[in-house]
Amino acid sequence: MAAIRVEQLWKQFLLKKDRADSVGHLLLRMIPQPQSKRPKREPFWALQDITIDMPEGTSFGIVGNNGSGKSTLLKILTRTMTPTRGQIQVSGRVSALIELGAGFHPDFTGRENVYLNGSILGIGRKAIEQKMEEIIEFADIRPFIDTSVKYYSSGMQARLGFAVATSVDPEILIVDEVLAVGDEAFQQRCMDRIFAMKRGGTNILLVSHNLGAIERLMDQAVWINQGVMQKIGNPRDVVFAYRQSMIDQNEGRNQQEAVSGADQEGGPLALRDAYVEINGQRVDSVQSGTSLDLICELDNVSGLPMDGHFSYTVRRPDGLEIVSVSSILDGPPMTFQRGPARMVVHLPELYLTSGEYEVDAACFDANGRRLAEWRAPIRFSVQAMQATPGLLVLPHQWQVR
C-alpha cells in the first residue's frame, strides 16, 4: 500500500555568515583557524512543524514562494536529506524528479543514463529495455539518445528525466518545479501523463508554480510560507488563500511606495455587487444556450483613473474550470475612472449542461499583475432541454451519407 505520512517535521540548517571584505581577508580565511576564531553559524529553520497525511491513491500539490521550503520537504521524502526532528513514513516504490540532471552522469549517453536511473530505482535491465522506446519517444530526443548528457540542454535533460521517472510504473511519483524548463507543448504532455497516472491510482506529490495545474490535478494541497504550513485542504481553497496573500503583499509594497513619494499606479477596485443579467433583467437561472451578461459593479477607490484588465472564470462548485475570459488576451488595458463602474462581459451563447455554476472574478493592472480576486461572487443555475453527459450541450445535426 503506497502512502506518505509526515508528522511534526522540522529541518534546520546552520548558516555561516562571514564575508571577505578584501583579498587579504579571503586569503586569511583559507588558513585553518582555532575553534574560537571561526565564524559563528546561525540556525535557520527551513521547515517547521510540517504534518501531512497522504493516503493511498491520492495526489497532493505544494505551493509557496521560492525559498519557502517546498524542495527541502521533497528531498527529505526521497531520503536525500534527513530531518532535524519529526517522523516520515513512505511506503511504496518512489520515483522522483527533483533537481535537473539528478541521477545523470554527464559523460554517459542518454541511453546509458536511462539504464543507470533504472538501476537506482530498482528496475532491472530487461524491464528498462522493454520501456526504452517509450522513454525515447516521450522525451523526443531520439537523434541525441546516444550522445553524452553533458551536451544536452536543460530542456532535453528535463524531458529525459521525466520520461524515465514516469515510465517505470512507480507507486509514488514526486515531481518538483523542474518541468518549468520545458517548452509549453512538453509541459502539457507532462500534465497529461500525470493525470493518467493519477487515474491509475499512483500517489503524486507535485510542487509547481502552475496554480491551475494544482487546482485541476490534485486532490489536496498545502501552502508553505517560510517553512511554515499556512493552509492545507481543498486545492481551490489553498490556491485562493495563496493568491490572496500575494495580492496583499503587493498592496503593502504599493502603500510603502506611495508613502515614500514614489508614483502610485492606483489602488485596487472594490467589488460592490455581482450577478447575471439577461435582457436587462437580473436572473439566478438560465436556459442552456441563452445569451447573457456577467456583471460586476465596481468602485475605483484609489481616487485616480486606473488602466487595467478584468477576467471571469466559470466553474462547477467542485472547482472544475469550464471557461475563462480575460481582457489581457483580448486587447489593450481598459481605463477605470474614479468612482463606480460596471464591468460587463457579454456571452452570446453559453451551452452548459444542467447544474449549478459559480463565476470567479479578478482584476489586474496594465502589466497583468493581479490586484484583486473574488471567489464565486456570481452563482447561477442552468437548465438544459435534454440530459447530456459532460460539460457542454453542443448544437448538432445527424446525417447518414
Q: Residue 34's pLDDT is what?
A: 65
Q: Residue 84's pLDDT is what?
A: 93
How sure is the predictor about 345, in pLDDT bands with cuts at 50, 70 and 90? very high
pLDDT of 28 over the 70 cut? no
Q: Which of 27-36, 78-87, 182-191 has the lowest mean pLDDT?
A: 27-36
> Quick check: is 394 in a domain?
no
pLDDT digits (tens, 9 = 90+) for 295-313: 999 999 888 899 999 999 9
How sure is the predictor about 261, in pLDDT bands with cuts at 50, 70 and 90? very low
Mean pLDDT over all residues of the chain? 84
> Quick check: is 245 in a domain?
no
Question: Quick one: 79 and 141 in the same domain?
Answer: yes
| Long-range contacts of residues 212-218, Cβ cutoff 8 Å, at least 24 apart | 212/321, 213/61, 214/61, 214/63, 214/238, 214/239, 215/239, 215/319, 215/321, 216/320, 216/321, 217/59, 217/61, 217/191, 218/59, 218/60, 218/61
How sure is the predictor about 292, in pLDDT bands with cuts at 50, 70 and 90? very high
Q: Residue 294's pLDDT is what?
A: 96
Question: Quick one: 273 and 235 in the same domain?
Answer: no
> Quick check: is 256 in a domain?
no
Cβ contact 248:239 at 8 Å: no
Question: Quick one: 99 and 222 in the same domain?
Answer: yes
Q: Residue 17's pLDDT is what?
A: 64
CATH number at residue 117: 3.40.50.300
Q: Residue 259's pLDDT is what?
A: 36
pLDDT of 346 over the 70 cut? yes
pLDDT digits (tens, 9 = 90+) for 89-128: 998 888 888 776 667 888 999 999 999 888 877 778 888 8
pLDDT of 15 over the 90 cut? no
> Quick check: is 112 in a domain?
yes
Q: Residue 144's pLDDT is what?
A: 93
Q: Residue 257's pLDDT is what?
A: 44
Question: Quick one: 95 and 17 in the same domain?
Answer: yes
How many domains does the chain contain in total?
A: 2
End-to-end Cα distance, the chain: 53
Rounded mean pLDDT of 338-355? 92
Question: Quick one: 62 and 181 in the same domain?
Answer: yes
Question: Quick one: 62 and 133 in the same domain?
Answer: yes
CATH number at residue 310: 2.70.50.60
Question: Quick one: 148 and 288 in the same domain?
Answer: no
> Quick check: is 350 in a domain?
yes
> Quick check: is 14 in a domain?
yes
> Quick check: is 258 in a domain?
no
pLDDT of 61 over the 70 cut? yes
**Domain that residue 332 falls in:** 267-383
Q: Which comes out higher in pLDDT, residue 15 or 383?
A: 383
Q: Residue 260's pLDDT is what?
A: 36
Question: Quick one: 287 and 338 in the same domain?
Answer: yes
pLDDT of 162 over the 90 cut? no
CA distance to 46, 296, 364, 370, 371, per residue, from 367 (Å): 33, 21, 8, 9, 11
How sure is the predictor about 159, in pLDDT bands with cuts at 50, 70 and 90? confident
Q: Which comes out higher in pLDDT, residue 98 or 174?
A: 174
> Quick check: is 262 in a domain?
no
Question: Quick one: 76 and 146 in the same domain?
Answer: yes
pLDDT of 258 over the 50 cut? no
Q: Where are the beta strands (DSSP E) in 247-369?
A: 269-278, 281-283, 285-287, 292-300, 306-315, 321-326, 334-336, 339-347, 355-365
Question: Quick one: 214 and 274 in the same domain?
Answer: no
pLDDT of 225 over the 90 cut? yes
Rounded mean pLDDT of 53-67? 90
Q: Any alpha helices (H) in 78-183, and if so which ranges?
A: 110-120, 125-139, 154-167
pLDDT of 335 over the 90 cut? yes
How sure is the predictor about 23, in pLDDT bands with cuts at 50, 70 and 90? low
Q: Which of 211-215, 247-251, 355-359 has the lowest mean pLDDT?
A: 247-251
